[in-house]
Amino acid sequence: MKSVHTAGTLARVPNQPKTPRRDIRVTDGDWADLGERAAAAGTDRTKVIVALIRWYLRRPGATLPERPPARGGH
């Protein structure tokens, strides 16, 4: 495994992941909030995004991920 430095963290990633990386454009604030809210729910950004994509495409068995409680009027 190699180390990858992203946004102030050092993480281990597999040499050959099961799925290819995809690039998307998201504001810094939304990306940070998604990371914080996903972590608080015991998951991560990737799992939330993949669940949303599978639900949007009406894949069999796909469900929307649980939304975190509203905070600060958002």
Beta partners for residue 54, in sequence order? none
Would the pTM count as exceeding 0.85? no
Domain boundaries, the chain: 27-64
Six-digit token string for 7: 């946004």
**Residues 6+ away with beta carbon under 8 Å from 3:** 10, 11, 12, 13
For range 8-26, the mean pLDDT: 78
pLDDT at 18: 84
Residues 54/62, Cβ–Cβ less than 8 Å: yes
- pLDDT at position 68, please? 86
Give pLDDT tens digits for 18-69.
889 999 999 999 999 999 999 999 999 999 999 999 999 999 999 999 888 8
